[in-house]
Amino acid sequence: MKKLIVPLLLIAVLFTSCGEKASENATDSPVGNASPGGEKVASYNEGGISFDVPEMWQQNFKAVTRDAGSSGNTYPQTEFYYTENGRDIRLMSIGKFTRDQWEQMKKNGEVSDDAMIGESKDKNHIYSVFYEDHDYISDNALKDTLGKIRGEAEKLRDKIMFD
Q: What is the pLDDT of residues 1-38, one digit of tens each?
A: 444 333 333 333 332 333 333 222 222 223 334 444 44
SS3 35: coil
Amino acid symbol at 80: F
Q: Is residue 4 part of a domain?
A: no
Helix (H) or strand (E) holding 97: strand 87-98
pTM to 2 decimal places: 0.70
Amino acid symbol at 101: Q
Residue whose C-alpha is closest to residue 155's, from 52, 42, 46: 52
d(CA 85, CA 76): 28
Structure confidence at residue 59 (pLDDT): 83
Q: How many CA atoms lie within 13 A of 147 on its CB side?
A: 10
Structure confidence at residue 41 (pLDDT): 56
Q: Is residue 49 part of a domain?
A: yes
Q: Is residue 126 part of a domain?
A: yes
Report the domain count for the chain.
1
Q: Is residue 134 part of a domain?
A: yes
Q: Is residue 12 part of a domain?
A: no
DSSP 119-159: E-TTS-EEEEEEEPP-TT---HHHHHHHHHHHHHHHHHTTT
Domain that holds residue 71: 33-162
Q: Is residue 158 part of a domain?
A: yes
Q: Residue 72's pLDDT band (boundaries 50, 70, 90)?
A: confident
d(CA 37, CA 3): 49
Structure confidence at residue 32 (pLDDT): 35
Q: Is residue 15 part of a domain?
A: no
Q: Is residue 124 part of a domain?
A: yes
Structure confidence at residue 54 (pLDDT): 85
User: Quick one: average pLDDT of 130-136?
Assistant: 89
